[in-house]
Amino acid sequence: MIDTQPSATTYVSHVVAVPSELAQQVFDACRADRQYRSSDPARWLVPASARAVLHVVGAGVGDVGSGDLLLRRCPAVLKVGRRRHRVELELSQWSAAESELGVRFRQRRVSDRAHEAAMQVLDVLAAELELRGLLAHHPAHVTGAERLEVIGSAWL
């Protein structure tokens, strides 16, 4: 039996090894690339599994206003099976060399399933941000057919 008891925390996060300035750029690139998965151009999707999908609205710029550490905040809906949870996807500065992706639940009681789904979504986004950040620092390292040119690199 899966535990669905409410959890005490309404925030889950994942630290990514991407500096905040670059994290903003790759976050925006991820958003732009993922918009094609939605029929509404203001929405973008982050599927993490067959039962966990984050539906995000907007670019996450403009109304941040919680100090310099919060870089992006987007309203979203986390779908876990048939249940929907109102959340916010956040990108914050963690340190000089790292950033933090977070999902903030808007309700007070959150099930363990919802926390697990939020972590799955954050894992997917964190991996994408870290890969794009690495490629931004080392643009010669590409994928696909062009990979043959850099096959001798220590990065591969």
Burial class of residue 62 (count of CB atoms within 10 Å of its CB; 0-12, 13-18, 19+): exposed
Mean pLDDT of the chain: 81
| CA 28 – CA 32 distance, rounded (Å) | 6
- pLDDT tier for residue 8 given thresholds of 50, 70 and 90: low
Longest dimension (CA), the chain: 53
Q: Where are the domains of the chain?
A: 9-150
Q: What is the pLDDT of residues 44-73, one digit of tens each?
A: 889 999 999 999 988 777 555 555 689 999
For the chain, give the percent of residues with pLDDT over 90: 51
Averaged pLDDT for residues 85-111: 94
How high is the pLDDT of residue 29?
87
What per-residue string of b and e applies to 95-119 under the rule 16 or more CB within 10 Å gives b?
Answer: eeeebbbbbbbeeeebbebbbbbbb
| CA 121 – CA 51 distance, rounded (Å) | 11
How high is the pLDDT of residue 141?
52
> Of the candidates 77, 80, 87, 30, which has an alpha carbon nearest to the alpha carbon of residue 50?
80
- pLDDT tier for residue 146 given thresholds of 50, 70 and 90: very low
Q: Are 73 and 63 in contact, with CB atoms under 8 Å apart?
A: yes
- pLDDT tier for residue 152 given thresholds of 50, 70 and 90: very low
How high is the pLDDT of residue 32?
84
Statement: residue 137 has pLDDT above 80: no
- pLDDT tier for residue 33 given thresholds of 50, 70 and 90: confident
- pLDDT tier for residue 150 given thresholds of 50, 70 and 90: very low
Class for domain 9-150, per CATH? alpha beta
- pLDDT tier for residue 38 given thresholds of 50, 70 and 90: low
| CA 155 – CA 9 distance, rounded (Å) | 38
